[in-house]
Homo-oligomer: A and B are copies of this chain.
């Protein structure tokens, strides 16, 4: 019997975590706007006029996915897209008034949801939760892009 216990597989856990989050987001934040869509709105509140590629970089989405998410936000009229006059390859993105209002409304709800989501953990544990996940995710991404010696400390190469 060579079957493995899925509970020892980080991928399984990661998937379950995201499912759990999806569930709670739908129940407590919005059934219309998804979490990745909110991330895009949020990025554009912080830095209005970004282009698609950079938005993707900020929220951790590849070029194709970000294009889809953005097209949905445009369809809902939360976002506008105009050709960059300085560089005709780019589109500059900007929230509509409705987009700004939506981001504001959801930010409050998202914060509440996060509290509920993390409620089973103590304060210290919540810190550890973020720290551990971030370290694992960063390391895996690092394997992807091996380059980028962050200046100074050249670790072999």
Chain A contact residues, CB within 8 Å of chain B:
1-4, 6-25, 27, 35-36, 39, 42-43, 45-46, 58-60, 103-104, 107, 110-111, 114, 116-121, 125, 128-130, 132-141, 143-144
Contact = CB atoms under 8 A, between A and B. Distances in A.
A35 to B, nearest CB: 5
Of A10, A25, A118, the most chain B CB neighbours within 10 A belong to A10
Contact of A125 (B21, B46, B132): B132
This chain: copies in complex: 2
The binding surface of chain A is classed by DSSP as helix
Given A118-B136, A136-B129, A103 B16 contact: no
Nearest to A107: B4
